[in-house]
């Protein structure tokens, strides 16, 4: 008798939980569908040139939730084929500047140009083919490795995909999987290690073959088993391109042609490793901190 009374109550409770979960999922879905893109294509947009300097002039940017600008009056020019490292304390605006250089955001004031074309006036197709960002964690979708590589270029042939993998020297690594490029990676690439997910992200970039490569702390979350391989893949990918690196390792910074220290919403120092050490300022403090951290972990 009691069972016949409590069973419907229990079923109602389970149904309530299901409805609540479904409602939360629907709210999330609607928020995604209603989201306004951070940037859009201008009606009179033009193609970006194949190559050119990347020039930031007087840029001001603030996030919506903050009354304080993340960047204020930032100007810098990155030459064709130059390797520029962006360094600075956490929250200084390094990643924000890198994202502005790729037009993931638009500045509130000032301009970002590639080959004398304001990125606001560039077609999205040419922008995404000239400037590619490799983030700290490359996002993978449920599907095969091949499917995830085609996210970079939907029209890529199998031969082009294999060439992109070969370009970063990862052919043998992907061949080790039982199903090769048809290996299922699952949601967020959960079947792959962090390093393997980053190899997929680098192969995507190679498939696009951009003029400018922006690395947003792309080697800060690697597993020891693939760290050396990812570093080698990065070296190959950077060759012959303009590269902007949001850096957190002294070894990465020292290989750059120039280093920009982002601090207090601006570029506080700019120069080579030795030049900035001689200033005994922001960069010297960072370099000393990195050196001490390395000696402790060693």
Distance CA 251, CA 88 (A): 15
Strand (E) or helix (H) holding 217: none
Backbone dihedral region of 60: left (phi > 0), alpha (psi from -120 to 50 degrees) or beta?
A: beta
Tokens found for residue 201: 């992200």
Confirm whether 36 is domain-assigned: no
Confirm whether 150 is domain-assigned: yes
Confirm whether 8 is domain-assigned: no
Query: pLDDT band at residue 297, thresholds of 50, 70 and 90?
Result: very low
Confirm whether 261 is domain-assigned: yes
Confirm whether 49 is domain-assigned: no
- pLDDT tens per residue across span 24-39: 666 665 555 555 567 8
Which backbone phi and psi does 237 adopt, to 5 degrees? -70, -35
Closest to 188 measured CA to CA, from 177, 197, 196: 197
State the average pLDDT for the chain: 87
Mean pLDDT score, 15-21 = 68
Confirm whether 283 is domain-assigned: yes
271 contacts 111 by C-beta, under 8 angstroms: no
189 pLDDT higher than 90: no
Positive or negative, the Cα torsion across 39, 266, 62, 93? Answer: positive
The model carries a pTM of: 0.83
Confirm whether 19 is domain-assigned: no
Confirm whether 182 is domain-assigned: yes
The total number of structural domains that make up the chain? 1
The percentage of the chain sitting over the pLDDT mark of 90, rounded to a whole number, equals 62
- pLDDT tens per residue across span 213-270: 999 876 666 667 778 888 889 899 999 999 999 987 777 788 899 999 999 999 999 9
Distance CA 274, CA 293 (A): 20
Task: Tell me which residue range forms the domain holding 220.
Answer: 54-297
Of the two residues 295 and 145, the one the predictor is more confident about is 145
Distance CA 207, CA 231 (A): 18
The CATH number of residue 101's host domain is 3.40.50.300
């Amino acid at each position: 008798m009691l069972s016949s009374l409590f069973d419907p109550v229990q079923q109602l409770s389970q149904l309530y939980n299901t409805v609540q979960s479904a409602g939360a999922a629907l709210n999330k879905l609607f928020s995604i569908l209603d989201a306004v893109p951070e940037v859009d294509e201008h009606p009179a947009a033009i193609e970006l040139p194949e190559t050119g300097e990347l020039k930031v002039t007087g840029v001001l940017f603030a996030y919506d939730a903050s009354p304080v600008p993340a960047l204020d009056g930032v100007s810098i020019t990155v030459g064709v084929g130059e390797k520029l490292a962006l360094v600075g304390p956490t929250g200084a605006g390094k990643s924000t500047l890198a994202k502005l250089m790729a037009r993931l955001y638009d500045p509130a004031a000032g301009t970002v140009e590639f080959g004398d074309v304001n990125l606001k006036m560039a077609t999205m197709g040419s922008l995404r083919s000239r400037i590619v960002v490799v983030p700290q964690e490359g996002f993978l979708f449920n599907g095969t490795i091949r499917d995830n590589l085609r996210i970079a270029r939907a029209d890529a042939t199998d031969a082009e995909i294999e060439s992109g993998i070969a370009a970063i020297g990862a052919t043998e690594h992907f061949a080790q999987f039982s199903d090769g490029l048809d290996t299922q990676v699952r949601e967020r690439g959960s079947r792959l290690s962090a390093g393997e997910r980053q190899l997929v992200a680098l192969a995507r970039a190679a498939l696009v073959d951009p003029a400018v490569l922006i690395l947003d702390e792309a080697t800060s979350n690697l597993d020891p088993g693939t760290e050396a391989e990812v570093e080698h893949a990065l070296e190959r990918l950077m060759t012959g391109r303009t590269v902007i690196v949001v850096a957190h390792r002294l070894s990465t910074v020292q290989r750059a042609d120039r280093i920009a220290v982002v601090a207090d919403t601006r570029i506080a120092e700019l120069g080579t490793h030795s030049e900035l050490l001689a200033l005994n300022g922001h960069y010297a403090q960072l370099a000393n901190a990195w050196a001490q951290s390395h000696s402790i972990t060693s």
